[in-house]
Chains A and B, each alone.
Chain A
Amino acid sequence: MKIDTVKAAAQSPDHQQPYAALGLSSDEYHSIRDILGRRPTSAELAMYSVMWSEHCSYKSSKVHLRQFSDLPHSERLMVGIGENAGVVDIGDGYAVTFKAESHNHPSYVEPYQGAATGVGGIVRDILTMGARPIAVMDPLRFGPADAADTARVLPGVVAGVGGYGNCLGLPNIGGELVFDECYAGNPLVNVLCVGVMRHEDIKLARAPGPGNAVIIFGSRTGPDGIGGASILASETFDEEKPTKRPSVQVGDPFTEKLLIECCLEIFAAGLVVGIQDFGAAGLSCATTELASAGAGGMHVVLDEVPLRDQTMTCEEILMSESQERMCAIVEPDKVAAFLAICAKWEVLAAVIGTVNVSGRLTVEWRGEQIVDVPPRTVAHDGPVYERPLARPPDQDDLQANDPDRLARPASPYELRDTVLRMMSHPNLADKSWVTEQYDSYVRGNTVLSQPEDSGVLRIDEQTHRGIALSTDGNGRFGRLDPYAGAQLAVAEAYRNVAAAGATPIAITDCLNFGSPEQPGVMWQFSEAIHGIADACRGLGLPVTGGNVSFYNQTRNAAIHPTPVIGVLGVIDDVRLRLRHGFGRVAGEEIALLGDTRSEFGGSQWAGIVHGHLGGLPPTVDLAAEARLAGVLVRAAEQGWLTAAHDVSDGGLAATLTESVLRYGIGAQIGLPGDPFVALFSESAGRILVAGLSNGLAALEAACVETGVPITRLGTVGGEELTIEGVTTIPLGELRTAWTETLPGLFGAVTPP
């Protein structure tokens, strides 16, 4: 087998290389030649091509994402953007790290494995920070619920998220399930993971200390997830070799579980000075990132990498995205102890190289030098593009298409029918069909999980300190106004965390967009980033990190701009958390916090009843959101409330339905103003609350004091949802409408 060595590359400058097939532009290829002063070897070309891809280099988004680094300093932020995940101080010496990642394209191709490895990847990012992963969340978006392709994709994705997360012993504490035509062919599979550690245990991805060992541990490296490397293989080398390889990686959660426990034991024993996971771009990414962030140089002997397939080429080994692998930098006198812990957990480990100060990453294979590059040029000096952006020509028409022109239900009968019709729509219906496939109990610290507004986890059994997390996004709002849509996503996640009684302290983002090569999409992206940055400035939250997923489009049709925002909150005493169900105690009274306006642009009502998307999304008032959150946190601390529930998709009708059906206790409500607007408007900044008489009186006083609008709506009790002057719906009828939709679409799970 012929090997393309550094020496050979220097001697054959005119050798034609398939850079275009690897996704590099002519300009990018020539910058590589300029950097190296010669043509790259095929192994080097493989490394640059994956590391300079949009996925790894953020080349289209970088100029915009800088806004997040310019946000005001936050005392809570311990590690910011640029590491595997951001880290936030939650008090008492605890640090929390959380991040979301997309696995959209693989999940469309192979739903189960795409989703499963999405969980695996983000969990390793969190582990890499030195934290024990403690929970996951899964914001999911699909095409129409009744589309044939959704029936192919959704069950596999849900089974994959569950299959991997359940087997890791990570509770799934929340997420989203949204159906929209724009995601047909482009499902969004985002996964968030959160982990916890002590302040002093934070780990970073760097390789300091010349002479230190580079160790690969976990699964063997196999020919999966290679993508473009097979082009090199088939082009350059012998023709008998199989070239058709699976492009989606296959996950093994059992190995990952062992890897987690093994890593945590290694961390606790103080045996690593740097750590990185193998994610996208595998060895190429891990070695260049570790070296450039550390002593500057590294020598790797590729023959030492444990392989699953001995026929793999060096290019394939460098690009392989085999799952469940980690890379550690270990001082020489600690290597034996490191390997002993790996042996205890039956985790395969091999020393593959050494850190040095050469300023070069050198890789040898079969005794030949195949890579000799400045690692920084691979990991960090990729191309940066200021792509053209332009407001889409149809944006004005879209915004002018006012939902006020739509026919509204007027009679009590029509309003009743609209409530039942909307609550049975897949976007608002009960999500148990999905969430029952996830373990929410494992680890025994889940205080709240779906269907509550936020997931809440106990961090300390003695002090009762805990955290709350919510993920939210609304592509329909984003399509109408990407700036406001992004702000609304931040505001909703922020509000959901506050509705649990927690103080929001930081955000992460998962930015799902169409092709950055389309100026309209780039405009949406730029607007959304501005919106997130301004919302964070307004609410005093740092952005701890994030993920960008471009090219979510089929031909010219891009998905709605869908930034998904995860907000982290801290709660001093999880025993004081707020839940959304009515009727845990007798005698509750109900009130609505916030103002309701006639806002139907992008609403579920407009979409479900009229198939309409037009006008402007609800207005955003960040100061009002902050006041509302402040009141909720205080009310939780003081024990004034017995229930709280965010008002968002589907408006008050959906909020009330969920609150009465949670424990099967009804309510009698009197609506102020136009009942249609009161029931279905999606005005932001609102939370429905319940409390006993004294508690609500105290809340009312606090609301007056802080300027939060509060409206009494009625009382809890009975077996019906009664909306005075409009309708009475027996809970059984409401429950049937709400619960039968997803099982009807995706198969009943009630055995005979």
Chain B
Amino acid sequence: MTAPNPRPTGDDLANVRVGVVTFPGSLDDADAARAVRLAGGSPVMLWHGTHDLGGVDAVILPGGFSYGDYLRAGAIASFSPIMSEVIDAAKRGVPVLGICNGFQVLCESGLLPGALTRNAHLHFRNRDQRLRIEARTAWTNDFAEGAEIVVPVKNGEGRYVAAAADLDAVEAEGRVLARYVGGNPNGSSRDIAGVTDPTGRIVGLMPHPEHAVEELTGPSTDGLRFFTSILASLVGAGAGAAT
């Protein structure tokens, strides 16, 4: 695969600050931060109970069980103090990636269409999953078109559902970020694993790219490209150089 963006320098990348929100019950927050670091950026940990985004250039809502997934997965987190800032920032164009529980939070917040419900087979499911990347976004620019990758999927409530009209619109507008290939692990509608907003900046993905960033611990290093993609887009937009 070739990277479409001109390669920014390491210093440019290191100047890009990517916030990772910790909610009570967030679990993959340290992993998301590690992925940002391995991609060359600077992770900034953000706390759910504040209104302070710390001037970050992008935000990641990590996996986990925010607020114990009580009520509905992601429902309580979507009303937390930090989320009002994330929603405002997203509307101003700050890129946001929601992974797993973070995807649930984005749907509950109304930033992305649809909802994530209990897996069709009712079990938590953890497996190395093949995905096809279908949309070019700020978070997926480094992938070749139609790239197939392997990253872990692990969730109990990962079944993507939406009204048929919404699904049709998402597909027609090219907003399917990724689809499950070689088996749908949770019964998601139309094998959808992730979606993007129309701008390509607000992105939700059920599988976990942050767990596929090192040969040693992941099934591949395919996930790293989500993080290099966002750093490159932000440097391209002047984020790294500006700071």
A751 to B184, Cβ gap below 8 A?
yes
B30 to A436, Cβ gap below 8 A?
no
List chain A residues, Cβ under 8 A from B214: 444
The reply on B43 being an interface residue by CB < 8 A is no
Number of residue pairs A-B, CB distance < 8 angstroms: 103
In whole angstroms, what is the CA distance A609 to B119 when docked?
A: 38
Known: A444-B210, A575-B216. A437 touches B186 (CB 8 A): no
Known: A252-B68, A441-B152, A446-B217. A163 touches B34 (CB 8 A): no
A447 to B217, Cβ gap below 8 A?
yes
Binding site for B on A (CB under 8 A): 159, 162-163, 166-169, 252-255, 257-258, 344-346, 432, 435-447, 458, 574-575, 747-752
The reply on B24 being an interface residue by CB < 8 A is yes
In whole angstroms, what is the CA distance A162 to B185 when docked?
A: 17
B125 to A447, Cβ gap below 8 A?
no
A749 to B125, Cβ gap below 8 A?
yes
Looking at the assembled complex, report how far the CB atom of A464 sits from the nearest CB atom of chain B, in whole angstroms: 8
The reply on B70 being an interface residue by CB < 8 A is yes
A751 to B124, Cβ gap below 8 A?
no
The reply on B179 being an interface residue by CB < 8 A is no
The reply on B51 being an interface residue by CB < 8 A is no
Looking at the assembled complex, report how far the CB atom of B81 sits from the nearest CB atom of chain A, in whole angstroms: 13
B27 to A169, Cβ gap below 8 A?
yes
A441 to B121, Cβ gap below 8 A?
no
A445 to B217, Cβ gap below 8 A?
yes
Interface residues of B, CB < 8 Å — how many? 39
Which one of B30, B211, B216 lies within 8 Å of A458 (CB-CB)?
Answer: B216
The B193-223 residues at the A interface (CB cut-off 8 A) are 208, 210-211, 213-214, 216-218
B184 to A442, Cβ gap below 8 A?
no
Looking at the assembled complex, report how far the CB atom of B210 sits from the nearest CB atom of chain A, in whole angstroms: 7
In whole angstroms, what is the CA distance A258 to B64 when docked?
A: 13
Per-position binary interface string of chain B over residues 55-75, scored 1 when its CB falls under 8 Å from any chain A CB and 0 otherwise:
000000001110111100000
The reply on B91 being an interface residue by CB < 8 A is no
The reply on B136 being an interface residue by CB < 8 A is no
In whole angstroms, what is the CA distance A447 to B214 when docked?
A: 10
Known: A254-B24, A254-B67. A441 touches B125 (CB 8 A): no
B154 to A749, Cβ gap below 8 A?
no
The B119-163 residues at the A interface (CB cut-off 8 A) are 119-121, 123-127, 152, 154, 156
B127 to A436, Cβ gap below 8 A?
yes
In whole angstroms, what is the CA distance A346 to B67 when docked?
A: 11
Known: A444-B30, A751-B187. A167 touches B123 (CB 8 A): no
A458 to B68, Cβ gap below 8 A?
no
The reply on B25 being an interface residue by CB < 8 A is yes
The reply on B6 being an interface residue by CB < 8 A is no
**A–B pairs, 11, beta carbons within 8 Å:** A163-B124, A166-B154, A167-B69, A169-B28, A254-B68, A255-B68, A258-B25, A436-B127, A442-B31, A458-B216, A751-B121
A254 to B25, Cβ gap below 8 A?
yes
Excluding A166-B156, A168-B27, 20 further A-B contacts by CB distance (< 8 Å) are: A169-B27, A257-B25, A258-B25, A432-B127, A435-B126, A436-B126, A437-B125, A437-B126, A439-B124, A441-B31, A441-B154, A441-B211, A442-B28, A442-B31, A444-B211, A446-B217, A747-B121, A749-B123, A750-B183, A751-B120
